[in-house]
Copies of this chain bind each other. A is one copy, B any other.
Amino acid sequence: MENKLYHAECGVNAAIALFSGRWKVIILHMLSKNTRRFGEIQARIPAVSKKVLTEQLKELEADGLISRKEYKELPPRVEYALTHFGKSLCPLLADIAAWKRKTIL
């Protein structure tokens, strides 16, 4: 993208990309209440497939929004949690929700 346009949007698109994805907002909201295991997340989002859930979690982790802790046990156990960065996003999502509510009513 050209510089003029970059300054116009000020990274908004890049920021949006961090939490746009079919299940990311739901995952972030879920983890804001509790650390969760992979299976728990999947159980609470019945419509998501393992492949897609894995992808979304990997992207969220790569973007620094969530952390992944693997316990070397048998059977394996993995815990996902919000990072500090991820927690900082929650108020913004609340603002977005509030904006939508205001305008629909």
* Interfacial residues, chain A to chain B (CB-CB below 8 A): 1-2, 4-5, 8-16, 19-20, 22, 25-26, 29-30, 44-47, 85, 88-89, 92-93, 95-97, 99-104
Contacts and interface: CB of A to CB of B under 8 A. Distances in A.
A40 B23 CA distance: 37
Contacts of A12: 25, 93, 96-97, 100
Contacts of A101: 10-11
Contacts of A96: 12, 15-16, 92
A99 B8 contact: no
User: What copy number does this chain have within its complex?
Assistant: 2
Contacts of A104: 11
Given A1-B47, A5-B45, A100 B14 contact: yes
B92 A99 contact: yes
